[in-house]
Amino acid sequence: MGKTRALFLVGLLGIALSVPNVRSEVGVQGKTEWKQGKQYLAAGDAGAAKLVFESLLQQHPNDPDLLLSLAVASLKLRDPQTAESYARRALAQRPDDAEARTLLGWMMMEVHRDYGSAVREYSEVVRLLPGSAEACNNLGVALKKKGDWAPALESFDRALKLRAKYPEALSNRGWLYAERGSWRDARRDFEEALKLNPRDEAALYGLSRALREERDYAGAQAALSRLLAVSPNFVYWLEWGRIQLVRYYWALLLLAGGFYLYSRYRKA
């Protein structure tokens, strides 16, 4: 269900960037402009942040954290090409920067649809941060999109071992089970994800699909009703209407049969 999310959602699909707390050279850390730029970025004013960081870059052209912050600001301004350029420059200065590799992996996956490159970047992040549940979840998503289901399942399992109450990983694993036709396992994961986050759109839609596959049409419709309360999407309305037709199909048949018999009776 991740495909329904907008390309530039806040949070950027789990990119673990704590921009206000990134590392930097002592020279840059002491600059008022650096602190101001971080404040702008944290407040969501990416345009103002980028202007401040670009001014600082003239004095510190090789600072990896400055380059990374510019990459984040550019991406939030819907300029992935510039964002990628800054991210690669940051990695050239600091190849083991997990944040920069996470950002680059996300762009490979969501912008370029280059899932192989995304897997390589996220695998490197997992190597750098073996205890990060987010890194394992990101890798699982890339592997799933690449079609490597078994490694993807292992990655989601690992993420959930690191953090048992992780709704995003549960929802992602649920969709992996769904794509493999394991609807019982999918339903279990979606229900667990919704216990942790009742407004999880992906889990709500997934639960409706799982219940429909189990012919629990009333349950599927109830899940879609909850989903429509969160996001009144036209696609969800269509799905709700289709289940409504399936659910009451027998009643429509009886009604049609009744009209047919009545018309035959009148002719007789």
Domain that holds residue 152: 96-164
**Same domain assignment for residues 44 and 85:** yes
Task: Give the dihedral sign, CA 243/244/248/249.
Answer: negative
Last-in-domain residue among 60, 94, 128: 94
**Residue located via tokens 């009545």:** 262
Return the number of other C-beta atoms located less than 10 Å from residue 188's C-beta.
16
Q: Which residues contact 139 (CB under 8 A, 6 or more apart)?
A: 119, 122, 123, 125, 126, 155
Tell whether 147 and 196 lie within a shared domain.
no
Length of the chain: 268
- 248: domain CATH number is 1.25.40.10
- pLDDT 10s digit of each residue in the chain, 268 long? 444 343 333 344 444 344 444 444 456 777 899 999 999 999 999 999 999 999 999 999 999 999 999 999 999 999 999 999 999 999 999 999 999 999 999 999 999 999 999 999 999 999 999 999 999 999 999 999 999 999 999 999 999 999 999 999 999 999 999 999 999 999 999 999 999 999 999 999 999 889 888 888 788 778 878 878 887 765 654 565 566 555 554 444 444 444 544 455 555 5
| The total number of structural domains that make up the chain | 3
Half-sphere exposure of 253 (CA within 13 A, CB side): 5
Query: Looking at the structure, do residues 188 and 147 belong to the same domain, yes or no?
Result: no
- DSSP secondary structure letter of residue 3: G
In a domain, 206, yes or no: yes
pTM: 0.79
